[in-house]
Structure 1
């Protein structure tokens, strides 16, 4: 299938877009498929070969003769450094230009450190991971970074104190460009996660919602094939939707009755601790769930129902095809997911739920690393950008 907006006068970048499906093609196949003349295809391919965007692979005939070479997108022509920042840790990964993760590492962070200290460490760790995974001379194509909280898309500056107040308004993208190169993409961790979830498991799904339930609750939204960020990057703030009948439950945001204060990991852990269980965080709750503790499984089912109440409204507004639920509280037996399904399918219209899938994530944190890389890859491999990178005779 040809890329959107294709015409026979499209540039070499559109040929790269076509070959990104991973299927090598001969020049004759490209001529037949695109409608370009043989000479135009030859010129486009030669420029891409010279720039390293594509590679030629040999063919063979059954009679032993040499067949025509096939042209394939070369995903190894550059590497992307992906970084996911949390309040206490950083997950770093290196991918090729197809989004395949080549190496990753998780490190602890000091929660009180400001952006200068954290980003300096990210630069050092990133360089070491690149050297170890793809070689010291590898070309760094760009850096993708996910941070907790909303981000001003055009500047890459966090709009909230994530993880400390010094981060708000800090020029994260500019700081990384100083040391690592010109292509830097920054977005919220949830936006990065939903991009990765779609890229790794739901490539053809145009309407997708990702929910993560841990100590906090976050949501990422793909609508009409486009990441939905909202006016200032604050779309998907599901954790602070009001839950009916919870007006006396105080949330860390200063409001009362928020979903996160009722169904988040810390809230579930607090209720279990009041009943004598030794738990403080969502990871503690998950550990007891894996042991089959009946109190924990009941709490997870109730938390799932509360989450389902909020998601039923999302389903009515957005009509997604798939809701993916992940995070520490999605226990192996899927009790929380059962609560979500019970309420969403029970309260939403039959039109919205007829083909709706509510599924657990299959990718965990790996999808976030891929999503951070995808931000860079889509920018770098935009057909116009590829054309501008070429030297024409």
Structure 2
């Protein structure tokens, strides 16, 4: 059912009704908005002229000429997206529905934003040239990075990301932490779910929180950092945060280092898939330790779904089993009554999907469309 419009209805509002609520005729737009026929016609004509809406003469006929059906035009532009992790990255060009048109792997984020951004701009330019996509079609840029960021200000490591993007492509840039972008992507893959907790196990342990259908970033954008949880195992090497016995060390395979000094998460995943008993036991124990924190989050946030993602996707059954064990023990009966704990549905694509969702929510918002 279309959401009511409680203020004078702008062209951006009309696009939202067509794009998100499926209002498909001028007559229906008039009924929903209260606008006159000329006002509706003017707004629709503006959207068609800007390539954001198309019309087709395939509506149901009631005896006369069938009404023209209006539809959002996903081919009316593109967005550039990139999701950069500590160990690897991906970048893509997407249409206005978030579908990937061209994609390539990318190096991980460099040690500073100042070093990463120029390289990333060149990689996007190369991807556009290689795929034959017109740079003039770009309407916005979305970027996920492996650090806490100032989302509203668009600053990463005290560097504003929009100025170099504007200089190169002439469009705004939107920035978030890579775990938040993955959470946004998984939210897209769980239609109808309004409350979701995404937990990423990689070189760190991070979480993204979707509550009431929206990402929750906290006061300064630092929400979701759950990696630093002490565990009872003695002698663990310190993780990057400097704390001995961090969950990051357990999930990263520190206990396995006694047998193989070259162990890392991909190696750990391969050994788990091969059924190595020690590795399976390690991952299950790591899942229990992560579950200690997730159980608290479940009690606090009451998500409908907990999604586990990261570098162990495809070999995460023992990790999820350990996590489920502790969460169902330590969370309230009501909070877990219908709770689902499951692996990522999108895998490595979650971050790109979330970056696209983030930038499209901004560049196609009523305010942004009206500003055109």
TM-score (norm. length: structure 2): 0.91
SS in 1 for 2:58: strand
Pair 1:363–1:47, CA change in 2 (3 A):
same
Paired with 1:310 and 1:222, the residues of 2 have a C-alpha distance of 17
- In 2, Cα distance between the equivalents of 1:334 and 1:121? 37
Distance 2:245 2:306 in 1: 24
Match of 1:337 in 2: 320
- Classify 1:341/1:372 alpha carbon distance in 2 versus 1 (closer, same or farther; 3 Å): same
Give the superposition deviation at 1:52.
1.9
Q: Secondary structure at the match of 1:307?
A: helix
Q: 2:342 is paired with a residue of what secondary structure? A: strand
Distance 1:144 1:379 in 2: 10
Aligned mates of 1:304, 1:61 — CA distance in 2 = 54
Q: Does 1:183 align with 2:181?
A: no
CA contact (8 A) 1:272 1:279 kept: no
Distance 1:86 1:58 in 2: 46
Offset of residue 58 of structure 1: 2.5
* 1:29 shift after superposition: 3.3
- Contact between 1:81 and 1:130, CA under 8 Å: does it hold in 2? no
Question: 2:229 maps to what in 1?
Answer: 241
- Distance in 2, Cα, partners of 1:325 & 1:376: 24
Aligned to 1:329, the other structure's residue is in SS state coil
**1:307 equivalent in alignment to 2:290:** yes
Kindly state the Cα deviation for residue 90 of structure 1 after the two structures are TM-superposed: 3.1
Quickly say closer, same or farther: Cα 1:24–1:56, change in 2 above 3 A: farther
1:374 aligns with 2:357: yes
Identify the residue that residue 124 of structure 2 maps to in structure 1. 126
Deviations 1:110-145 (A, max 9, x none): 956x43443222112112222444623541111111
TM-score by length of 1: 0.86
For the 8 Å contact 1:95–1:370, the answer to whether it is kept is no
Structure 1 residue 278, shift from structure 2 partner:
7.0
Residues 312 and 348 (structure 1 numbering): CA distance in 2 closer, same or farther, change over 3 Å?
same
CA displacement 1:13-61 (0-9 Å, x = unmatched): 1121112148472223333444443333222212211222211123277
> How far 1:283 sits from its partner (Å)?
0.5
Per the alignment, in what secondary structure is the counterpart of residue 273 of structure 1?
helix
How many residues are matched? 371
Distance in 2 (CA, whole Å) between partners of 1:341 and 1:36 is 52
Give the distance between the partners of 2:64 and 2:130, measured in 1 at CA.
40
Aligned partner of residue 371 in structure 1, secondary structure = helix
Call closer, same or farther: CA 1:172–1:110 in 2, change over 3 Å.
closer
**1:58 equivalenced with 2:57 (yes/no):** yes
Q: 1:142 aligns with which of 140, 163, 187?
A: 140
Evaluate the alpha carbon distance shift between residue 61 and residue 317 of structure 1 in structure 2; reply closer, same or farther with a 3 A threshold: closer
CA distance 1:12–1:248, shift in 2 (3 Å): same
Structure 2 vs 1, CA of residues 71 and 62 (structure 1 numbering), >3 Å: closer, same or farther?
Answer: closer
Please state whether the residue corresponding to 1:326 is helix, strand or coil.
strand
CA distance in 2, matches of 1:62, 1:194: 43
Q: Matches of 2:21 and 2:127 in 1, distance apart?
A: 26
**3-state DSSP class of the match of 2:29?**
helix
Which 5+ residue runs of structure 1 have no aligned equivalent?
159-167
**How is 1:225-304 mapped onto 2 (pairs within 5 angstroms)?**
225-243=213-231, 245-246=232-233, 249=236, 250-262=238-250, 264-265=251-252, 268=253, 270-274=254-258, 276-277=259-260, 279-304=262-287
Q: Which residue of 1 aligns with 2:43?
A: 44
Question: Structure 2 vs 1, CA of residues 149 and 246 (structure 1 numbering), >3 Å: closer, same or farther?
Answer: farther
Query: Contact 1:194/1:371 (CA < 8 Å) preserved in 2?
Result: yes
RMSD of aligned residue pairs (Cα, Å): 2.5
- Secondary structure, counterpart of 1:9 in structure 2: coil
In structure 1, C-alpha distance between the alignment counterparts of 2:363 and 2:53, rounded to whole Å: 14
Per-residue deviation at 1:248?
5.5
Structure 2: which 5+ residue stretches go unaligned? none
CA distance in 1: counterparts of 2:109 and 2:305, whole angstroms: 37
